[in-house]
Amino acid sequence: MKFNFLTLFPELIEVHMRSGVIGQAIKKNIIEFESVNPRFFTKDKHKTVDDVPYGGGDGMLMLAEVLEKSLQSILEPAQKSNQKVKTVYLSPQGRLFRQELITDFLNYDQINFVCGRYAGVDNRFVIKNNISEYSLGDYVLSGGELPALSMMDAIARKIPGVLGNQESSELDSFYEGLLEAPSFTRPGEWQGLDVPSVLISGHHARIKEWKEFMSVLVTLKKRPELLLYTQSKSAILLPSGRRISLIDVEAFYSSLSDKEKIVCGIQDMVIRGDEN
Ligand SMILES: C[S@@+](CC[C@H](N)C(=O)[O-])C[C@H]1O[C@@H](n2cnc3c(N)ncnc32)[C@H](O)[C@@H]1O
């Protein structure tokens, strides 16, 4: 997959693309990227990319024409080679980007990220090209580069081969709609806090079960609004359609020692609050 960034600050993109798993994926040619600087498509000697907004208001807006030329410079070759392309404008007004939206992005050969700066872009550019707007969250950043890189990174992690064998995205938070179970590394005891014994037992089936129930408990504690329930409210309904009985979750919770609850940050929880 190829990721293109329309940006006035290509150096911000380069740094990220050279590091970590993304840098490795580029070296292995699993993903490609290109930065296109709208300034390159200006005609005047000052290389102007912005102008004042009609109707007044603070800040400057990026010009539709330079953005259009930048975008067409990427779209034309992609169309000639029948690439499936999606173009995104990063915007605080856009659809909130979430993990479950990634599956759709994986259907494309090329994703173009239009990174706004200043007070944003001339809206006609977005409308004319029917560009989807995506937001990273309900706050305003200075530019679209960080949200574009965040989206690219989250999408790339789901492309086969990007993560090495040791890093599986299947245990990450949001897999199956749940947060990840708490993680611990060496030493087994640190400042009086012990790693839950099951994790050092070597018993894979028990560890898997512990992680699954722990994921439910951590999600209930930290982000309860993420959970869906069956109509009877007797079970949690995962996006895959799988159900996890709340009686089982409660029994698992009762089986944990106080120390284990503390080290996992899940003490004093009421699991079936509605029914009690
Ligand atoms: C200062 S912002 C412009 C905000 C714009 N005036 C508004 O109120 O909607 C400059 C650029 O940063 C990017 N940006 C800012 N916040 C963002 C967010 N939450 N998600 C995605 N992009 C964002 C957009 O590309 C935007 O064009």
For residue range 44-55, list pLDDT tens digits in order.
Answer: 999 999 999 999
- Average pLDDT of the residues of the chain: 95
Select from 90, 115, 149 the residue to mutate for testing ligand 1; criterion: most ligand atoms less than 8 Å from CB.
Answer: 90
| Distance, CA of 158 to CA of 168 (rounded, Å) | 9
> For 14-35, how does the pLDDT look when each residue is reduced to its tens digit (9 = 90+)?
999 999 999 999 999 999 999 9
Q: Are residues 252 and 150 in the same domain?
A: no
Q: Are residues 25 and 71 in the same domain?
A: yes
- Of all atoms in ligand 1, which is nearest to the CA of residue 121? 27
The answer to whether residue 166 scores a pLDDT higher than 60 is: no
46 domain residue, yes or no? yes
The residue type found at 150 is S
Ligand 1 proximity of 119 Cβ (cutoff 6 Å): yes
Last residue of a domain, one of 108, 124, 156: 156
User: Hey, what are 208's tokens?
Assistant: 């898997």
Is residue 187 reached through a cis peptide bond, with omega within 30 degrees of 0 on the bond before it?
A: yes
Domain span including residue 144: 2-156
**What's the CATH number where 185 sits?**
1.10.1270.20
SS3 156: helix
Ligand 1 proximity of 92 Cβ (cutoff 6 Å): yes
**Mean pLDDT, to the nearest integer, of 97-126?**
98
> For 195-230, how does the pLDDT look when each residue is reduced to its tens digit (9 = 90+)?
999 999 999 999 999 999 999 999 999 999 999 999
How far the first Cα of the chain sits from its last, in Å, is 51
Last residue of a domain, one of 131, 156, 181: 156
> Residue 10 C-alpha to ligand 1 middle, in angstroms?
17
271 domain residue, yes or no? no
> Residue 137 C-alpha to ligand 1 middle, in angstroms?
10
Ligand 1 proximity of 6 Cβ (cutoff 6 Å): no
Task: Say how many domains are in the chain.
Answer: 2
Ligand 1 proximity of 177 Cβ (cutoff 6 Å): no
Q: Are residues 105 and 205 in the same domain?
A: no
> Residue 130 C-alpha to ligand 1 middle, in angstroms?
18
Residue where the block lists tokens 């106080």: 258
